[in-house]
Amino acid sequence: MKKISRPEIAIKMRELGLVPLFYHQDQELVKQVLTAVYQGGARFFEFTHRGEFAHEVFANLVKFSRKECPEMILGVGSVVDASTASLYMNLGAEFVVSPVIREDVAKVCNRRKVLYLPGCGTLTEISQAEELGCEIVKLFPAAVLGPGFVKAIKGPQPWTSIMPSGGVSLEEENITAWFNAGVTCVGMGSALIPKNMVENSDFESIKNNVAKVLKIITEIRST
């Protein structure tokens, strides 16, 4: 069974700086997208829990990943209840992401020592998440809150680790603004894996998008 500890996953997430997220009901297509982001250098992949039988797609993705993308750390997103979190952890999820903060999800993740990233939109919610043991919080919706919100949070709470999601684009200026504000990593979905590229099976461009973002992050951190 492939497993690394929760603190190790949090550290790796911070080191790499990028968490791609994606959902599709076609498991073979998801495998191709996973392979593309892996080849681009990503080592995290958030499969968003949407649609019927999504957990079956994820179960097959875990088996595929452990053979073909052995360094990939797979997690699940869009989780809003403890039973769903438990289901995916039993299927091999190594981190869990929510659009909101859920105490019941935090508890089941803590029991299994699995990294939980709850969605937060206020300083109070962030504080509550940290009290529940969350090492990294998901800033959502990031497009509404913006990098300025992160900078303001890091003033009184420099220890807070934030992953914006739903507002990060491919533009270097945008990515730079987020990291200069103090984010730990960024979650990227359709900006990184556009619908047209998926529909056209343009996996090479998806791979290049991932490589581009990782290069930008590395350059930002080296200055």
Rounded distance, CA 32 to CA 207, Å?
A: 10
Single-letter amino acid code for the residue at 207: K
pLDDT(89) > 90 = yes
**Residues near 124 by Cβ (< 8 Å), separated by ≥ 6?**
none
pLDDT(2) > 90 = no
pLDDT(86) > 80 = yes
Backbone phi and psi for residue 20, each to the nearest 5 degrees, phi listed first: -70, 145
Question: Do residues 210 and 42 lie in contact, with contact meaning Cβ atoms separated by under 8 Å?
Answer: yes
Task: Tell me the Cα Rg of the chain.
Answer: 16
Rounded distance, CA 222 to CA 67, Å?
A: 33
The pLDDT of 128-149, averaged and rounded, is 97
Taking only the tens place, the pLDDT of each residue in 90-109 is: 999 999 999 999 999 999 99
The pLDDT of 137-151, averaged and rounded, is 96
pLDDT(110) > 60 = yes
Question: Do residues 186 and 175 lie in contact, with contact meaning Cβ atoms separated by under 8 Å?
Answer: yes
Which H or E element spans position 212? helix 203-222
Rounded distance, CA 208 to CA 127, Å?
A: 37
Reduce the DSSP state of residue 74 to 3 states and report it: strand
The pLDDT of 72-89, averaged and rounded, is 98
pLDDT score for 223: 82
pLDDT score for 199: 96
pLDDT score for 172: 97
Question: Do residues 44 and 76 lie in contact, with contact meaning Cβ atoms separated by under 8 Å?
Answer: no
> Is residue 145 exposed (0-12), middle (13-18) or buried (19+ Cβ within 10 Å)?
buried
What does pTM read for this prediction? 0.97
Rounded distance, CA 79 to CA 101, Å?
A: 10
Taking only the tens place, the pLDDT of each residue in 3-55 is: 799 999 999 999 999 999 999 999 999 999 999 999 999 999 999 999 999 99
pLDDT band at residue 197 using 50, 70 and 90 as cut-offs? very high
When the pLDDT of each residue in the chain is averaged and rounded to a whole number, the result is 97
pLDDT(1) > 60 = no
pLDDT(165) > 70 = yes
**Cβ neighbours of 53 (radius 10 Å):** 10
Backbone phi and psi for residue 69, each to the nearest 5 degrees, phi listed first: -135, 65
pLDDT(80) > 90 = yes
Among all chains, which residue has been given the structure tokens 């270097």? 172
Single-letter amino acid code for the residue at 60: N
pLDDT score for 3: 78
Q: How far is CA 129 from CA 68, 77, 91, 175, 188, in A?
A: 34, 16, 25, 25, 21
Longest Cα–Cα distance of the chain, Å, equals: 46
User: Crossing angle, helix 54-68 and helix 27-39, to 10 degrees?
Assistant: 40
